[in-house]
Each structure stands twice: as C-alpha cells, then as structure tokens.
Structure 1
Amino acid sequence: MRILNKIFGKSSSEQKFWEWFAKNSTRLYTAEGHTDDVCRELEEEMHKVHKDLAYSFGPIKDERREFIVSADGMLSVFPAVQRLANAAPDLPSWHITAFRPATGPSIIRVGSCSLRPSDIFFLAEAQDKKLNLTLFIKDLDRHDEQSLSSAVFLCLDAILGEYDAQMKIGMVGWKPLPDGPSRDKLYRIEKLPEITHLLLDQTT
C-alpha cells in the first residue's frame, strides 16, 4: 500500500477501492453471484471510481480467483479500467485482469434473439488499422434490430475479447446469409481472431 500512497496520494479513488477490496477479500472470494450482499457493495465501491465501471469473476486457478475489471464495451471508460487494474496491489488470492478476455464462440441470447456461431459468417476489410466487418447471419429477418445489435457486439466481445473488439474492429454491418456457392467465399465467425491478426499485420 505504501507504493500506492506515493503514486496516487491519500485521495486516490483507485487506492481506496483496492483497500476496500483487500479488507473484503475473503467475502469476495466465496461470492457466488451478483446478488450477494458483498457484490452489491463491490459495485458501489467501483462506481466511486467511475460510474460506468463493471466487473465479473473468472474461474479459480491455483487457488487464485480471477477478478475482471471491465468497461462493459464502452470505449470512453477504457482509461478508467486501465488505471484501476494498474493500481491493484499484490493480492495473494486474486488474479486481476483488465477487460473481459475472449471466451470463444458461444450461443448469444439477447431478448428474443439467439445467435449461434454456426449461423454467422463474415467478410473483413482493413482500414485505418481496424477491420470493417460485414456479417452474414442466417434467418436475419427473424431478429428484431435492437436485440440483434446487442447480440452481435456481445458475440464479437466473446470471440475477440473486450479490448480487441473495441480497438481492432471498426464499422460493423450485417446482411442475410446467402445460400449456395456464394457462401463458400465467406469466413465462419470462428475464424475472426485469425483473420483479424492476418489483415491487421499486413497493414502495419
């Protein structure tokens, strides 16, 4: 904590958060869900640092539980995430992660919209060090626009991770998935990390 005092001073909201976190480490370590009292307290403490900060708990590995500090996909909150994560002291029972990591393709459900990885293909074009994506979605007309939009960005978040989904992806649009041979020219959504790496490396 002495190092944090030197860096931030007594009034640092980041320092105060981690002091609270350390005092409540045991309660947080055993928390089972966001409805636990300690999780409600945790959310209140995070919002003292920045009103839009979010969090999640990851798995326990080697007796350490992962605590993920997130911007919930809001680019304007990224600096607050980085400041808070960088200010974290060494907590023996915890691994602190900035931004939600990639979890891989999975079924995304938002409202009445349900997107399966097998239903999504894409084309990509590199521009200004980002990729512009056109997604081709099976049964597109069955989804309402608002739920679909949320589901699409949650899908990108899961496949690329929160940081890369915001920093490496530019414009995103979608069209109905075509039938027949034209589908063979499209990439499956599972290939997005590979194509992102390939195309962006070529532009640097």
Structure 2
Amino acid sequence: MKKILIVIPIIILIMGFSLFNRQSKEEKFWNWVSKNKIELENFINSDQEDYTIYNQLTKEMKKYNSVLFPEMTLTEKDEVVLIITPDGMPEGVLPTEKLYNSKPELDNWIIKKFRQATDEIGLNYDGIEYPSSDIEIIPELDNERGKINIKVFIRNMNSDVKKHQALSFLYLDHILGEYNTITKVGYIDFYHLDNDKSVENGISLLELRKLIEKEFN
C-alpha cells in the first residue's frame, strides 16, 4: 500500500509538469521565429536569391493556419517588417488577430497584421505590372450588408485576365488596407478598359478608400 501511495503522486507530478510545459500553437510559431531571427534578417538584407529560410517561415505560418502568409520587407532604417496576412481570405481574420496578439518583442523588428493601407505603391504579379492608375472603380453602397460593391475596370485586362485581376486584388489590399478589403468590400466585378478610355464617374482606389472611411468610420 505504501508503494502505491508513493507512485501515484509522482505520476500526477509528471503529468502536471507535462501539461504546464505544453506550448500553444502561437508560442511554437514565435519560438521558431526567434530561433531563426538572424537567418531571416540575413535573407531580407541579401539579394534574396536563396529563399530557403523564407519558405520555411511560410511553412511554419501555414502550420499555424493554412490561409496565413508572411510578407517581409525593410524600413528606411533597416528595421525588419513582418506582415501577417490572410491573403484576402475572410476566414483568416481571427487567426491573424490571434497570432499578432501573441507576438514577442524582437529587437529591430516591426510586426504588423494585415497589409497596410498606403496612398501609392508599385506592384507586380508573376510578370504582370501596371500602375494603380490603370484601375478605375464604380462603387455602389450596399446598406443592407454594410459593404461597398465595386465594379473594377482595368486597362488592357484582356492581355492576361487572371493575372491582371490578381494584381488588382493586391492593389486593393495595399491601397485600401487588407482589413478594409476583407470586411468592407462586397461583390467585385471586373471589366476590361481600353488603353485610351476612362470610366464615366469612375474613381481611383485612393478615392475608394476615402469613401470607405467616410461611410464606415
């Protein structure tokens, strides 16, 4: 009987210790980032020919949630910027928030959630490149759903429809702000726009952002 009384507390102790030390999914991800911080910094400061460590970062983030995606860049002060993005997917909003809220303090790093709004940016997608001014918008307020439906006109879209549309989504995320795109933009319809044409009553992406801010903020 004495032996049983001795063994049981030891088992409980071991189980309790194991449970106490179990890492959350968020902790596992950020511990991996902390462990590989220097390699990630070397990558973003390099000519970026070797994407091995960045691909590993992507894999680790997708282990946490399959729709999340990391984007890395540098500030003018050479600070590393890591953006956690759901890549425009609504189901990724809550996981993005949760992973961001558990972020550690990393020296010389800035961690952001969602692609941030900017007034102007130049982007390309898989060899397709055009300025945001090649996109004109016809907005329609949807009061019932609390969103703005948009008709998106893209110059020369008929040259490669899918890639032009994919690039326009990136412009939406970066000029409206990804959170606005996910939560405030409703239905999206795409239209080709001839190079020498403009859309009557069309507005720019920046004007669309200001309209969203006016209507919903």
TM-score normalised by structure 1 residue count: 0.78
Which residue, 150, 157, 172 being the options, matches 1:133? 150
Displacement after TM superposition at 1:97 (Å): 0.5
Displacement after TM superposition at 1:82 (Å): 1.3
SS at structure 1 position matched to 2:43? coil
How far apart in 2 are the matches of 1:174 and 1:54?
25
Q: Which residue of 2 aligns with 1:97?
A: 112
On the 8 A contact 1:131/1:200 being kept in 2, the answer is no
| Structure 1 counterpart of 2:41, one-letter code | Y
On the 8 A contact 1:34/1:40 being kept in 2, the answer is no
Displacement after TM superposition at 1:185 (Å): 2.3
Q: Which residue of 2 aligns with 1:4?
A: none
Structure 1 residue runs of 5 or longer lacking an equivalent are: 1-7
Greater C-alpha radius of gyration:
2
On the 8 A contact 1:52/1:77 being kept in 2, the answer is yes
Q: Which residue of 2 aligns with 1:158?
A: 174
Which residue, 132, 138, 142 being the options, matches 1:123? 138
How far apart in 2 are the matches of 1:197 and 1:166?
14
On the 8 A contact 1:108/1:115 being kept in 2, the answer is yes
Which residue, 95, 100, 106 being the options, matches 1:85? 100
Q: Does 1:15 align with 2:65?
A: no
Q: Does 1:55 align with 2:70?
A: yes
How many residues end up aligned between the 2 structures? 193
| Structure 1 counterpart of 2:175, one-letter code | I
On the 8 A contact 1:113/1:143 being kept in 2, the answer is no
On the 8 A contact 1:117/1:190 being kept in 2, the answer is no
Q: Does 1:192 align with 2:208?
A: yes
| Structure 2 counterpart of 1:40, one-letter code | N
SS at structure 1 position matched to 2:67? coil
Q: Which residue of 1 aligns with 2:56?
A: 41
SS at structure 1 position matched to 2:23? coil
Cα separation, partners in 2 of 1:65 and 1:185, compared to 1, 3 Å:
same
TM-score normalised by structure 2 residue count: 0.74
Cα deviation, 1:53-73, whole Å, max 9, x if unaligned, reads: 210113235563211111122
Q: Does 1:26 align with 2:41?
A: no
Structure 2 residue runs of 5 or longer lacking an equivalent are: 1-19
How far apart in 2 are the matches of 1:181 and 1:93?
46
On the 8 A contact 2:156/2:194 being kept in 1, the answer is no
How far apart in 1 are the matches of 2:54 and 2:117?
23
Runs of 4 or more above 6 Å deviation: 178-182
